[in-house]
Structure 1
Amino acid sequence: MRPELLELILGLLPDTHPRSEVQLLYEMMRDYPQRGGKGLRSELLLLSAQAHGARPGSEAWQRALWLGAVVELFQNWVLIHDDIEDDSEERRGRPALHRLHGLPLALNAGDALHAYMWAAVARAGVPGAVEEVLTMIHRTAEGQHIDLAWVAQQQWDLSEADYLEMVRLKTAYYTVTIPLRLGALAAGKEPSAEFTPAGEALGTAFQIRDDVLNLLDDAGSYGKEIGGDLLEGKRTLIVLHWLASAPPEQRERFLAQMARSRSDKDPTEIAEVLRWLRESGSIAYAQRYADEQGQRGLARLSAALGEGNEAATQMLRLAEGYVTRQA
């Protein structure tokens, strides 16, 4: 994340209070933003604003910065809730917020960040931004509900198309489509209709690459626990592809583990499942699909932005780097 954007976010969030309980809330609200993160969404938004004519230092640029704060605050309060819902251990290399402070306090801190996200929307003052942010929340919640419902209902009889629809809702819209659209609006321009299919393809590639990294030994600075998706019972393109042709004995052992809670899963069995997945060819299959989606999304985004625009070139380079990233 750009330093000027983090400064804007931390300046919006309260930092001191005479009551120790409220002071703890403020510290919890600032925790995830201060842990850093890649800042992909806000960077795409700012580059989109530049590609549409907003210049650093201008009023349009300030509007874009506030909308960048919106997508970062959205990301952070959603991550707090997501970590609770998935019972995750870590976030950005440190214990998840609910692991540090308990579920009720973490949930409340996420709700508070949500409110400050809307304060940033108001500060931006961009026509059409409220509707865009509402749509982003609706689509993300729908995708998250599908994902959580599969876990709650122990549903594994799923197709790859089911997974891809969930990802388009849960990840692609707020990761790529919304930043592109908000950047255009900040510059006073109408967002291209191509941003939606480009965002769906690029966001799908981004999520599949994240799923792949979660299962690799050498994920570098990935920032999340390797194999965490298995412990959380995540339905991924990798697992669904493997299940379609897995030997019956392996499938039975896998489903037996997935029926257990995270804390009750057998580490030895999970390690064995991880080995099966790595040896099956399903990880390579998923990566090929991600590569195809990435190239398709980049082509559509390039067509929408046109040639000869430096900000657009940087945006394409950024998007390509994230769908082929090693961490």
Structure 2
Amino acid sequence: MKIWLDSIENELYRILPKHIDSSWVRKIFTPEETLSEFNLFDAICEPARDLMYSGGKRWRPLLMLLSAKMLGGQEAFEKAMTLVPLVEMPHNGSLIIDDIEDQSDLRRGKPATHITHGIDLSINAGSMLFFLPTVALDEAPISDVKRLLIYQIYAKYMRKIHMGQGMDIVWHHDIEGIPSIESYETMSRLKTGCLAAMGSEIGAAVAVDDMTIIEEAGMIAETIGLGFQILDDVINLEKGNPGKNRGDDIVENKKSLPVILYANAHPEKHEHLFSVFRHAQSNGYGASKVEILALIDEIIGSGVLEQARKRAHDLFQGVLEMINEVYGPSQERDLLISMVEGFKEA
């Protein structure tokens, strides 16, 4: 696994290197008149590099590689490896934009990108990470037919992730609005599950031509992403996500599954719930911490975290059944199963 992760990092550095040189500029832009502007390009890319190489689990590109290897063997795996920037770079770009939209202070235990580099340069860097990895697709050792199919997959999921993010934004502007559980799951599939689905569909598309199999691979990964998001919601309230403040979802007025379950079960608590959300959003985490933690204690005491965790575990169990139907026996299938089991233990 470490060899795979090291190779993923190398592919990311290939598309977004630590230092800009003339060969990178020719590959990305080509105009000769820009070849001397290395320092300027370095400054433009620095916010993206700062987040990209600050950590991250890289589980989305791992799903891509597993999908390719299980369906097409070593040759498909090697081709898919050149495409991992298509998944990991947009993920990091979306984090930069998400932190600006949510006015988040922290990401991966450090000041968020826009705090360090400014909002304007960070927006530019986040957006750049949506488009920069298409260079990897242009250079990939695949047929033009495969290249077109993968461009179509990429475009489809980039549309989806923006719709999911948009749903989340609309909800956190509407403090007293409580979406349905079904709407929440749709949003999470679009926002969190779609890049995992993109990666698995691309990995499958490198290996096979059967669109049914390609779409089934995507659905497996999308459902893993949904389960992952639900557990992330639980952890945010239970102990806090790594590198973030415990309960900062409340400051951002996130309509997470535990909050939705709590609101549905306790309509008499709505006024208090909305009041805490409103104060937290206005005053920030530090000034509202005591109030936030008291609300979290109420939510935990209601038992909804266990309900949310059970929903995630049920999704993962369904995923395990789908994995055994779509993929034949292999070490890679065992590894995928162990990844899903690992998410369940979070």
Normalised TM-score (structure 2): 0.85
SS in 2 for 1:67: coil
Match of 1:11 among 9, 14, 38: 14
What runs of 5+ residues in structure 2 fail to find an aligned partner?
A: 22-36
Match of 2:134 among 112, 118, 124: 118
1:76-91 equivalence runs, <5 A: 76-91=92-107
Q: CA deviation at 1:299?
A: 0.7
Does the CA-based 8 Å contact 1:302-1:316 persist in structure 2?
A: no
Q: CA deviation at 1:46?
A: 0.6
Q: Distance in 2 between matches of 1:19 and 1:45?
A: 33
What residue identity is the alignment partner of 1:226?
R
Structure 1 runs, 4 residues or longer, greater than 4 Å off: 17-21
What residue identity is the alignment partner of 2:220?
A
Does the CA-based 8 Å contact 1:140-1:170 persist in structure 2?
A: yes
- Structure 1 residues 134 and 254: alpha-carbon distance in aligned structure 2, compared to 1, 3 A threshold: same
Does the CA-based 8 Å contact 1:257-1:269 persist in structure 2?
A: yes
Does the CA-based 8 Å contact 1:89-1:99 persist in structure 2?
A: yes
1:287-326 equivalence runs, <5 A: 287-306=309-328, 308-322=329-343, 324-326=344-346
Q: CA deviation at 1:75?
A: 0.7
CA displacement 1:145-200 (0-9 Å, x = unmatched): 1111111233523221121121122222222x222211111224435143344334
Match of 1:286 among 302, 308, 312: 308
1:140 and 2:164 aligned: no
What runs of 5+ residues in structure 1 fail to find an aligned partner?
A: none
Q: CA deviation at 1:131?
A: 0.5
Does the CA-based 8 Å contact 1:10-1:30 persist in structure 2?
A: no
Q: Which has the higher helix share?
A: 2
CA displacement 1:296-325 (0-9 Å, x = unmatched): 12211221113x222122112212312x24
Normalised TM-score (structure 1): 0.89
Relative contact order, higher structure (CA 8 A, sep 6+): 1
Q: Distance in 2 between matches of 1:184 and 1:122?
A: 18
State the match for 1:244 in structure 2: 264
Identity in percent: 29
Q: Distance in 2 between matches of 1:303 and 1:183?
A: 17
What residue identity is the alignment partner of 2:260?
L
- Structure 1 residues 318 and 189: alpha-carbon distance in aligned structure 2, compared to 1, 3 A threshold: farther
What is the aligned length? 317
- Structure 1 residues 104 and 260: alpha-carbon distance in aligned structure 2, compared to 1, 3 A threshold: farther
CA displacement 1:195-254 (0-9 Å, x = unmatched): 34433432221110111111123x6x7333221111111001100110123263x43122
1:167 and 2:188 aligned: yes
Q: CA deviation at 1:11?
A: 2.1
State the match for 2:49 in structure 1: 30
1:108 and 2:128 aligned: no
1:71 and 2:87 aligned: yes
Does the CA-based 8 Å contact 2:280-2:292 persist in structure 1?
A: no
Q: CA deviation at 1:51?
A: 0.5
What residue identity is the alignment partner of 1:149?
V
Does the CA-based 8 Å contact 1:213-1:222 persist in structure 2?
A: no
Does the CA-based 8 Å contact 1:51-1:312 persist in structure 2?
A: yes
Does the CA-based 8 Å contact 1:70-1:117 persist in structure 2?
A: yes
